[in-house]
Amino acid sequence: MLLRPRAATLTLLGGTVLFACSDLLRRLVIPDSSAGPVTVVRLVHDHLGTWTVAAALALLSALVLLAGLAAVAALAPGRGRPLATIGQAVFGVGVIASVAHAVGEFGVPATQARSGVGSAAVNAMDKAGFWPWDVAVLLFIAGFLLGPVLLLAGLRRARVVPVWSPVAAIVAGVCGGTSGVVAGWIGLAAWVVAFVPVALAGLRHDGGHESRTGATRSADPALAAHEFRTGAI
């Protein structure tokens, strides 16, 4: 069952914040994205609690985002609907792929840190690679770079969100590919700026729907009387 627009947009906002917080915690543990696999395992070992919280937030954000994405394109009437629907689909693919990405990104170093494997084994595992995970990472990156921008561009085309929403989504995508804690903080702020207008649009959408429903009941006394007898109101 799809969420109503109000719940969907609030859920979508919450999911993006969870994702950005997970990314920020990851950056706090590993500030330099160019760190080698042995360095990553050592840092994860030293901050295993923070790393575990970051992993949990990443997985939780995927569930929350999928729930919100299922209904958010309904906010875009008319000419904005096709673009928003494409963005919804692309973003959804990225969110699904983010689960596999999180398992590899967080789970593998944590397992290596707990098991105490040597540097040679860590380097060997890193060089071996695993092509399905590589495909998942590409889908994840493409989905999170393009999906939010297309979705918000469609909502903007429908005059649902302001122009800075898709712009902020572009900033969030750029920050996602930039190393450092500062980029993580900017990315978190950009996700909020991008999706708060979507949440507000969902609140307005549901409020307008309830007003129209009330007006329909007032205009049709027979319908109102029937709903009163059956307990619908």
Q: Are 67 and 9 in contact (CB under 8 A)?
A: no
Residue range 55-61: mean pLDDT, rounded: 96
Q: At residue 229, does pLDDT exceed 80?
A: no
pLDDT tens for each residue of 117-173 = 888 888 888 787 777 888 999 999 999 999 999 999 999 998 899 999 999 999 999
Q: At residue 200, does pLDDT exceed 80?
A: yes
pLDDT value of residue 181: 95
pLDDT value of residue 120: 87
The rounded distance, in Å, linking the Cα atoms of 10 and 72 is 10
One-character DSSP codes across the chain: -PPPHHHHHHHHHHHHHHHHHHHHHHHHH---TT--HHHHHHHHHHTHHHHHHHHHHHHHHHHHHHHHHHHHGGG--GGGHHHHHHHHHHHHHHHHHHHHHHIIIIIHHHHHHHHT--HHHHHHHHHH--HHHHHHHHHHHHHHHHHHHHHHHHHHHTTSS-THHHHHHHHHHHHHTS-SHHHHHHHHHHHHHHHHHHHHHHHHHHHHHHHHHHHHHHH-HHHHHHHHHHT--
The rounded distance, in Å, linking the Cα atoms of 65 and 74 is 16
pLDDT value of residue 21: 97
Q: At residue 225, does pLDDT exceed 50?
A: no
Q: Which of 19-23, 105-109, 187-191 has the lowest mean pLDDT?
A: 105-109
| Reported confidence tier of residue 115, pLDDT bands at 50, 70, 90 | confident
Q: What is the pTM of this model?
A: 0.82
